[in-house]
Each structure stands twice: as C-alpha cells, then as structure tokens.
Structure 1
Amino acid sequence: MAVPSKTSVEVETKSKIREYLDIVLPECFIPELGESKSGKVRDIYFAGKNVVMVTNDRVSAFDFILPNLIPFKGQVLCGISEWAFQETKDIVPNALIENVDSSVVVQKKMTNLNVEFIVRGYLWGSMAAAYEKGDRTFCGLKVPDGLNRFQKFDEPLFTPTTKAEVGHDENMTYAEVEKLIGKDMAKKAKDVAMKLYARGAELMRKRGLILIDTKYEFGLDEHGVLHVIDEVNTPDSSRMCTVEEWETKYPKIAAEMKTGKHKDVSALMKAKPELKLKEFSKQYVRDALLEMGFDPAKDNKAPKLSDEQVVECAYRYIHIYEMVTGKQFEFPPKMSPSKRIILNLQRAGMLVGGFVIIAAGSDSDMPHLETLKKELAKFKIPSQIRICSAHKQPGRLEQLIQAYNKSVEPIMLVGCAGGTDALSGTASYSATFPVVSCPPDGMNSTCLTNPPGSSNAFIVKPANVGKFAAQFFASHCPKVAAELEANIQEKIRKLEQADESLAKRARLAESFAESTPAKSGA
C-alpha cells in the first residue's frame, strides 16, 4: 500500500480545516464557575478549589487580538501542554489535574511568581531584531559581536521578563528576578527552566524539530513547592522549526553573510526571501499582518486575515501538535465548542449547566433574596446575588446585562425590586435571557406594567420561582431535571396519600355507620 505523500496529507488536512472555519471558540464566559480573569487567549476561573482554564481560539500578535479565530488552536495548546507535563514531571511537579475537554485544563491553585522565565537557544525573534540594531546586552547578559539572525548560541541564554497583564512584557536582569522572588527561588526557578528547555529540545530533536526558544511560568503551592504552570513548549509560548529547515537554510545564510554584501540577515531576507526559515509559532501570523501593511506602532487594530491565511495557521498548529507529541490530531465533533465544553464539564461533575442571577436594587431585602437562593438550591440550581439599582446605577446594570449576554450556558435573572420595579423591566429590555420579577413586597403591579419591549415574567412566591427555573433549565441540566422529576413525583405522592387518606376515612365512616344499629322510634 502506497504511503500518502506529505503534500497529499497537507492538502487533505487543509480541506478538513475549511469545514471548521465557523466552528470556533471565542471568549468562553461560564457564570457558574465564578468571576473570570480573561487573558489574551484564555478565560481563567479561580472561584473553586482549583483553577479552570478555558483556552479559546483567539490569537494575538504584537499585543493585538486578531478579528479572526483559528480553529483548533486552543485544542492544540492544551494537548501539547498535557504531553509536555507528562514528559517533564521528573524535573519539576506540574499543576495539571486533568483536561476535562480538549480546550479546558483544570490545574491546582498556585501563587504565581509573576516572571516569564524565557530560555533562548538561538538568536531569533525580537532579540535578533534588537541585535541587528546594535544591542549587545540583553537582560544583563553580554552577547558577542559577529552573530547572525537564526544562529545557534554556544549555550542557551536565560532572558527573563516581567509578566504584564496589559501591554508589553519588560526585560529583567537576573538581579531583578532575585529582588522580586528571592535569591534561592530565583536560582531554583532558573535551573528548572534551563532543564525544561534542555528536555524539550532533546525530545523535539528526536521528532525532527528544533526548540528555538520558549517561556515558562512557575507557581508555588500552599507548602511553597515550585510547580510549572500554564502551558509548556507550545507554539504560542515557543518558537520551533524543523531540523531539516534550519540545517538546509542556515548554512546558506551564514555563507551569504560572509560575502559582506548584506547589512544584516533581515536585508538578506529581502534580497533572497527563499532563505527565510519557516517557523511553527505565531511568527506566521505576525509576518502575514506585516505583509498586509499593518504597522503595530501606528494602527489601533489588527486587520482580518483571509480564509486561506486562517487555514494555513490552523494547519501549522495541527502539524506541530502531531510532530511534537507523535500523536495523530483528532478532529472534534462538528458542534459548537462552547456547547461541547458545557457538556464535558457537566460529565465531570464540575458544572450544573444553568445559572440564576438574583438581582436587587439594594441589600435591604436580603431575607427575600436568601429565600430565593434556598428555593433554587432545592432544584440544585446555582445562583448569585447581585446588587445593582436601575435608578441609581443604570450604566452599571446595563454593563452587567451585556456581560451576562455572553454566557455560554443558559441563565436566568430574577429581579427583586420593591416600590417601582424598573430593574426587571430595564434588564429584560436588553437581555438575551429570560427575566423574572419576584418583588419583595408581594403583589407589586409595577412589575406588570413595564414599557413595550420589556418582557419580564411575574412570579410572587419564591418557591414558584424555583419551580419555574427548574422547568426552564431541565432540558439542559440533567441534575436539575432529576430534582424536578423528584419534586413532581413527591407532590403527586403526597396528593395520592392525601386522597388515599380521605378514601380510607370515608370507608371507615361507612363501615361504622353500617355496624351501628338504627335506634327504634318511641
């Protein structure tokens, strides 16, 4: 049997990718998991005993989030990290607990050291650009003259940076790392980072790859034990290329530079673009943007990639996953990734799959709000109390509604406003989810007279709100459906018991009447 050529496999894979261009995961807001921290490519939840990280299909370049989503990007990053954690656990423990979905990682909570531990094996990327401009000191390290872009260092360099929440990371010296996290921890983390890089480079070379550079993040558990966290040796945290690519092209680059005809390798690339090394990293996206005329220093947003560019990017992610792990990439079912994530979190027992926001204009009616929460809990429905006045904080209320509109799980809002009910009417006007009024002052007629466009329901009793919510969520949430069925059966059982009790009393009364002789008249 003939072995498929690389070209035919690439064509077939890219054809398959085109079928998934619209089956992608943007931000993934799951209110039930608590408050989230949204990074460039992740939604991270800290509310439970563990950290839940949902890796989406967004891609960033030059600190800009692109309008496009790249199919399977999140799946690839999670898959490579899981493999890398397994292959390096003898060097340092990792925070991974399990991957409950191809795009969801559950890790132990750690105290982040807030340093990007970067190891570079080659003069590449931003460092190469700075070197060509004349810089020779990086993170306190002196780099010799006479090096070329893409050249391998005699020994890997440790070039840490800050971990910026917004904007660019800034280079750090080793002394600055020591000052931030202490000398002992700085030495230990640096040593571990160098060992992780050496292991990664060794494993990848066996697969025909070069690990050019990469970054690691570390955290401490409750006992102060160092763990590697986040992702490891992925194409988003690293640069890679094939051994064949580097060994074929770099000698030609070095030979050209010896002629003295070119100012630097960047100038050579312009003259002979065929010598540019093909990377497996986000560099493809950066180059595509620059070729489209994007200027990160002047433009305020990144342009949209073409479908062909998206397919090429997704293919590179898939190809590098297969090369790094040695596993064949498995295309997921053709369903909404967010729906798949909810189903898998439900199967893992981490999610009910429905959520209620109990919104009130003030905390003065807290007993009523707590009663609603208890009634919802009877049906296993998670809920959260939020205080936001439609009169005093209209902007804040609108902001909350817009945030909850992004929920990937079904939700409901219960408005609890006494006096004039503007809360439920205002919320239901903008919400893409149902809103129910359950005022603390009972039969409040203002709940029934909200203006056109408002669509709130009106339920007076908290217990009935619980039952109504259970009926709404039952088709999405097996736990709720089971509680609802049990509730219905319990009500029926009590009615049948009551009926049987009455029938029994009737039969006893009839039997008593029959056994009692009638009194004769005088």
Structure 2
Amino acid sequence: MNKGLKSTDYHFAGQTKKYTGKVRDVYEFEDQLAMVASDRISAFDVVLPEPIPYKGQVLNQIAARFLEATADIVPNWVDSVPDPNVTIGKRCDPFKVEMVIRGYLAGHAWREYRDGKRMLCGVALPEGLKENDKLPAPIITPTTKAAEGHDEDISREEILKQGIVAEDLYTQLEEYTQALFQRGTEMAAERGLILVDTKYEFGMYEGKIILIDEIHTPDSSRYFYADTYAELQAKGEPQRQLSKEFVRQWLIAEGFQGKEGQRIPEMTEEKITSISDRYIELFEKITGDSFVKEDTSDISNRIKENIEKSLNLQ
C-alpha cells in the first residue's frame, strides 16, 4: 500500500526558515512561501501516527480551486500551484486568530450547546435547538491561533480588548468572512451540498488584508448532503456529512479526544485505506471532477524538483 507523504526535509537555495504545521510543511524565502500539503492527518489538535495517501493532493487541489473562485471577494496569497501537493505564494504576516463561521449547530458548537452553554464566543444562541439545526443567521466564532496545542474559543470583545487585532481590521475580517461563506454556500449548493461551517485565515501583505492557507476543504469545513438534510433532521438522525468529522467520530468511539492519558487507537491498513477513499470521495463530490491519482512512487523528489523549477532555484 502507498504509505503517503508523512514529512519533508528540504534545504533550498535562498530558504530562510522551515515551519512544520499539523499537516503542512512550509518553506520560507525572502518574500514567498512554498507550502507542501503532506498526507498527515490531525484531529483534536493531535497529529495521528499514520499518513493518509492522497490526502495532501486532495486538500491542495480543492483549496486552489476555491481560492481562485473567491479572488474577486478578497485577494489571496497564491502565486502558483506547481505540484499537486504544493502551493507557492506571498509571505504574509498572519493574524493571530482564525475566523470560524457557522451556519448550523454542529461539531464543536453542538458539543458546547449540548453541555449547557448558550453563549459561544460572545454570541448568544437560542434555546431549543437540536444537533445540526440551521442557525437563525451565520455566526462568527473565532479561535486563537495556537503555535502549539489547542486553539481556544475567543469573543470579538476579547480580541479587541487584548489588542490581538485592531478594530478597523477586525471589522474587515468579519465582512470578508461573511462574504466568503456566502460564496462557499452558493458553490456548495450547486453540488447538492450544504456548507455547514468553515474557517478562514488572513494575513497582511503590503498593507492589505490577504486570504491565506486553505479554504472550503474537508479539513477546514463541514458539508451536509442537501437532498437528505430535512428528512434526517426531522427524524433526529445523523446527517450525511462530507468532512473530517467521520475521523473524529471514529476516534471518539475508540475513546480518544486528544486528552491527557488517552491513547490513539490503532490505524490499521484497512482504516487508512478507508480514510483515503473518503477523502477522494470528498474531492469528487465537492469539485464535480474525477480525482486523478498522481504518481507517488517518488513523491518527495517530485515535489522538490517542482518547487525548485517554480522558484528558479535550479
């Protein structure tokens, strides 16, 4: 079985820094970044021990498509996509918050609500909601952007009080977030999907707000199938989802939620293959295209050579 790309360790001419995230390896140059989407998978802010074949290609190619499709709303960081697993773009100064927006009561928001909370990131939630109910209007529930460990919920008021983002800039981030979510919702509807919730990250580049990282991928977003949503909701049954939630639910069922003392369950070859197949299904449903598996027999060298060509480092 193809084991997937677990990590990279390149040393490019002109490289100033390397940053290893939960999923991506980021190579910094003077004014650009080369972001490699590995096949690592994380859940509950923990990187799982085995990579998922083709996951990086899926995420990188979905993100590229949606970034291109939203460039009229807000400029983004992308300069080129020279490899199925690589995006090269502008090196921005990132804001230290993630802009999470939710149209439905699902995932983390539902777990908080189920446990009795009626205020999420400073936003009041009405009584009487069920899991996966549509919210009266989309709500923004930001999180802090942790360099390590868990991101934490934070309110607009706390962001401004702590000076994490200036008010005029934060207001613009909110406007961009709402507009991007609306566009994502419309594009999802064309594919018979509901965009449930998602997150956006932004940075500053030459004095302007720039959309960075990935958008509308199954790692950063949750989708429901539109055709069965109302019926399943009326019956109180689980929604058919396109997201990474199926991985989280498997871990929860095995007694793992990223808490101290908990052990990650065994990732068998069968489980790894099934997760890979689900990511490919996600790609095809979200984009409407057939997924073309790239040759991964020498993936590390392929990526290295394509980055070097794109940045004229050879």
Give the alignment's TM-score, normalised by structure 1. 0.57
Instruction: Flag the structure with higher strand content.
Output: 2
d(CA) in 2 for partners of 1:130, 1:331: 39
> What CA deviation, in whole Å up to 9, does each residue of 1:111-147 have, x standing for no partner?
1111100100000011101101110001111111100
Q: Look up the match of 1:279.
A: 241
d(CA) in 2 for partners of 1:37, 1:349: 18
> What CA deviation, in whole Å up to 9, does each residue of 1:435-475 have, x standing for no partner?
xxxxxxxxxxxxxxxxxxxxxxxxxxxxxxxxxxxxxxxxx
Q: Look up the match of 2:9.
A: 29
* Contact 1:94/1:228 (8 A) holds in 2: yes
Q: Are 2:174 and 1:174 aligned? A: no
Aligned length: 310
d(CA) in 1 for partners of 2:48, 2:95: 28
* Contact 1:23/1:337 (8 A) holds in 2: no
Q: Are 2:304 and 1:342 aligned? A: yes
Q: Are 2:9 and 1:47 aligned? A: no
Instruction: Flag the structure with higher helix content.
Output: 1
In structure 2, the CA distance between the partners of 1:59 and 1:334, relative to structure 1 (3 Å rule), is closer
* Contact 1:24/1:336 (8 A) holds in 2: no
Q: Are 2:78 and 1:116 aligned? A: no
d(CA) in 1 for partners of 2:267, 2:245: 14
Q: Look up the match of 1:314.
A: 276
Which of 287, 291, 295 is residue 333 of structure 1 equivalent to? 295
Q: Look up the match of 1:495.
A: none
Q: Look up the match of 1:302.
A: 264
Alignment of 1:53-68 (within 5 A): 53-68=35-50
d(CA) in 1 for partners of 2:257, 2:154: 26
* Contact 1:216/1:232 (8 A) holds in 2: yes
Residue 229 of structure 1 deviates from its aligned partner by 0.4
Q: Look up the match of 1:91.
A: 73
What SS class does the counterpart of residue 181 from structure 1 fall into? coil
d(CA) in 1 for partners of 2:156, 2:85: 34
Q: Are 2:206 and 1:226 aligned? A: no
Which is higher, the Rg of structure 1 or of structure 2? Answer: 1
In structure 2, the CA distance between the partners of 1:138 and 1:349, relative to structure 1 (3 Å rule), is closer
Structure 1 unaligned runs (5+)? Answer: 1-20, 254-274, 353-522
Residue 301 of structure 1 deviates from its aligned partner by 4.4
Code of the residue aligned with 1:79 in structure 2: it is: Q
Code of the residue aligned with 1:165 in structure 2: it is: A
Which of 115, 120, 139 is residue 133 of structure 1 equivalent to? 115
User: Which structure ranks higher in relative contact order (CA pairs < 8 Å, sequence separation ≥ 6)?
Assistant: 2
d(CA) in 2 for partners of 1:295, 1:327: 34
Residue 71 of structure 1 deviates from its aligned partner by 0.9
* Contact 2:255/2:262 (8 A) holds in 1: no
Residue 350 of structure 1 deviates from its aligned partner by 4.0
Residue 290 of structure 1 deviates from its aligned partner by 2.3
Q: Look up the match of 1:105.
A: 87
d(CA) in 1 for partners of 2:210, 2:172: 11
d(CA) in 1 for partners of 2:26, 2:305: 18
Q: Look up the match of 2:235.
A: 252
Structure 2 unaligned runs (5+)? Answer: none
In structure 2, the CA distance between the partners of 1:221 and 1:249, relative to structure 1 (3 Å rule), is same
Code of the residue aligned with 1:289 in structure 2: it is: L
Q: Look up the match of 2:178.
A: 194
Residue 307 of structure 1 deviates from its aligned partner by 2.2
Residue 294 of structure 1 deviates from its aligned partner by 2.8
What SS class does the counterpart of residue 135 from structure 2 fall into? strand
> What CA deviation, in whole Å up to 9, does each residue of 1:38-65 have, x standing for no partner?
1100111113320111110000111221
Code of the residue aligned with 1:51 in structure 2: it is: L
What SS class does the counterpart of residue 31 from structure 1 fall into? coil
What SS class does the counterpart of residue 270 from structure 2 fall into? helix
* Contact 1:136/1:142 (8 A) holds in 2: yes
> What CA deviation, in whole Å up to 9, does each residue of 1:8-51 have, x standing for no partner?
xxxxxxxxxxxxx3241111111224421111001111133201
* Contact 1:25/1:56 (8 A) holds in 2: yes
Residue 106 of structure 1 deviates from its aligned partner by 0.4
* Contact 1:50/1:109 (8 A) holds in 2: yes
Residue 153 of structure 1 deviates from its aligned partner by 0.6
> What CA deviation, in whole Å up to 9, does each residue of 1:182-214 have, x standing for no partner?
111011110100110010011101101111100
Code of the residue aligned with 1:24 in structure 2: it is: G
* Contact 2:256/2:262 (8 A) holds in 1: no
What SS class does the counterpart of residue 50 from structure 2 fall into? strand
* Contact 1:23/1:335 (8 A) holds in 2: no
Which of 200, 217, 224 is residue 241 of structure 1 equivalent to? 224
d(CA) in 2 for partners of 1:24, 1:192: 35
What SS class does the counterpart of residue 75 from structure 1 fall into? helix
Q: CA RMSD in A?
A: 1.6
Between 334-343 and 164-173, the greater mean CA deviation after superposition:
334-343
What SS class does the counterpart of residue 212 from structure 1 fall into? strand
* Contact 2:58/2:283 (8 A) holds in 1: yes
* Contact 1:64/1:302 (8 A) holds in 2: no
d(CA) in 1 for partners of 2:311, 2:116: 56
Q: Are 2:193 and 1:209 aligned? A: yes
* Contact 1:36/1:45 (8 A) holds in 2: yes
Alignment of 1:344-493 (within 5 A): 344-352=306-314
